[in-house]
Structure 1
Amino acid sequence: MLLELVETEKMEQPEQEQRKSREENAIVLDFLPNGYPFESRQGQVSTPIVQALGKEHLILLELVPKKEIKLQPNEEVYIGEGKRDQIHHINGKLLPDKLTSTAKAELEFVITELVKKNEQRFLEFFNKAQPLSTRMHSIELIPGMGKKRMWEILDERKGKPFESFADFKKRVKLLPDPEKAIIKRVLEEITTEQKHYLFVQR
């Protein structure tokens, strides 16, 4: 039955352009005015570091601010190709195990705010999620949503798309809170290695 679903949804799904991995804006997780303590050497001038999360692709990034710039956690900064007021350059992607304790504490809060402020973007996952194979559907990767609940979601969205998380909870009974489940999955994708990535571009 899932094989039929794979073939049907493949035909229904329009061709999509390749996603660009470049981030335009990022949310500050931590600002280290003196850089990393474990990397500083006597006699060397330390470089300030910003640990941040890209808003679009949810990529962990290491940034270098411009001189005299001071930033706060949860502050949004522009990192696109245009004129940057606060960020001098991007060092590159940041490994999860390099996050400071402050950044780790801020991460869940920042993700929660992003999901709440972009409800339609994350709700679209439930409206358009596709099978990963003949045996596994991407909905099953969301914490608390197994095969039985996956079929309930697919049956409900056939009638009409979910309009909000509240609408989702009203129409699909006895399921985990979809918003909290999405937040948990995003956190897992950012902080641990996954076979499949639904929301984070690595």
Structure 2
Amino acid sequence: MSESESGREAVAVVLDFLPHGRADDDRPRYQKEPLAYALTESDFRLLELTLERDGGIGIGDSVTVEPPEDREGIEKVREIEYDDLSAAAQSELEHAVVDVVERDERRFVDFYNDAQPITLRLHQLNLLPGIGKKLRNNVLEARKRQPFESFDDLEDRVAGLHNPEDVLVERIIEEIRADDLKYRTFARRE
């Protein structure tokens, strides 16, 4: 269910702003609409935003993309793939993901608290880079005693788990970039 279907507002962070549209658009400059590339904060979808001429948007800005009646300065929203992003947007992506994870630490710490088995042999925690059977079991044992309160708490209580925030960021970026992943936990695709 998307944010608009559930009635919630969807916010995206701007990765790149192209005041004169895409370079590969052969139309004269005055006919091109300004564009921006953005990443939704709730489910890490990549978007191309067609902007109104006087829309003042900059890299790093947060913009409302859903519901449509709450959009300011945005004419059209289209979901895109990673390869459709500009080079500048691709280079900004990791910074944006880190910012989202830092701003909403509770949500991502709760992933470690709430992760469940996917199949008899595969657990959601095993999808994270560097987390094998032993480290997964360490996380599961520590959370049985008491839920994790923060990334620092997680790192302090789970032997062998270093930079739990960076591990999540790496997985989120992998889900955004890859077309052929069987399991997605963070980045939704239409």
Say whether residues 1:96 and 2:82 are aligned partners: yes
Residue 37 of structure 2: aligned partner: 51
The alignment-based identity, stated in percent, is 35
Offset at 1:85?
Answer: 2.0
Equivalent positions of 1:1-202 (< 5 A) are: 19-22=1-4, 24-42=10-28, 45-81=31-67, 82-90=69-77, 92-193=78-179, 194-202=181-189
Bigger drift between 38-47 and 140-149 goes to 38-47
Q: Give the Cα–Cα distance (whole angstroms) in 2 for the partners of residues 71 and 44 of structure 1.
A: 19
Code of the residue aligned with 1:201 in structure 2: it is: R
User: Aligned to 2:31, what secondary structure does the other structure show?
Assistant: coil
Query: What is the root-mean-square deviation of aligned Cα atoms in Å?
Result: 1.6
Offset at 1:42?
Answer: 4.7
Could you say which structure has the larger radius of gyration?
1
C-alpha contact 1:21 1:201 (8 A) present in aligned 2: no
Q: Give the TM-score of the pair, scaled to structure 2.
A: 0.91
Q: Give the Cα–Cα distance (whole angstroms) in 2 for the partners of residues 43 and 188 of structure 1.
A: 35
Bigger drift between 22-31 and 123-132 goes to 22-31
Deviations 1:113-159 (A, max 9, x none): 11011001011111000101001111011011111110111111111
Q: Give the TM-score of the pair, scaled to structure 1.
A: 0.85
Offset at 1:83?
Answer: 3.3
C-alpha contact 2:14 2:61 (8 A) present in aligned 1: yes
User: Aligned to 1:196, what secondary structure does the other structure show?
Assistant: coil
Q: Give the Cα–Cα distance (whole angstroms) in 2 for the partners of residues 21 and 135 of structure 1.
A: 32
Q: Give the Cα–Cα distance (whole angstroms) in 2 for the partners of residues 142 and 43 of structure 1.
A: 44
Offset at 1:167?
Answer: 0.5
User: Aligned to 2:66, what secondary structure does the other structure show?
Assistant: coil
User: Aligned to 1:78, what secondary structure does the other structure show?
Assistant: strand
Aligned length: 183
Deviations 1:57-108 (A, max 9, x none): 1100111112211321111111222332221221x11111011111011110
Q: Give the Cα–Cα distance (whole angstroms) in 1 for the partners of residues 23 and 29 of structure 2.
A: 14
User: Aligned to 2:70, what secondary structure does the other structure show?
Assistant: coil
